[in-house]
Structure 1
């Protein structure tokens, strides 16, 4: 990590150190499956269908033969208002897929081709309203 970087600075990412072992996965996809009570002011990704999308993504990743890619469930990723939310590491790219077709676009473009799907990305402009 650069000396001026802060652990709370979302625009910087730590760099691998020479002594770090190779990564176990080439990509790790965390799909928020947090469920809040019905009527919660922030909503939740699970209430917006994230569990079914996660299940679909896992199946499609296997069908595409995406070795070294792990798709798994995450708790709250704190992007509830924009859910369903997922993040792909090591890049730290955030997406909000709404349909299985969106998932297919993310898998094909990001994880197969190494590109991005800007129309589905969550960016620094997509921030939750103040908590209160």
Structure 2
């Protein structure tokens, strides 16, 4: 049987036991399926991430010719995509097409928050 903290402290006083002076709050139990559902939604478990979507659509983003000479390296703070180019010529091509690349990336689902592209080479 579950009693409130006040009732438990009253019983403890009557029995000569120390009171519970904790600041924690007793909460009712929740079913595990609702907790799992909240966790799956909050941390987007089972849903593709922005990085996965970019890798999947990489040939469409930079073009067939450039796709095998450059690759997405990482996403910094969810806002800046770092691209690694194979050489300086590819890096220059990517710099010229930077606005188009960013526009194509932002059109993808889960990628609307990306604001910048950085090209390393």
**For the superposition of Structure 1 and Structure 2, which TM-score range results when normalised by the shorter chain?**
under 0.3
Structure of larger gyration radius: 2
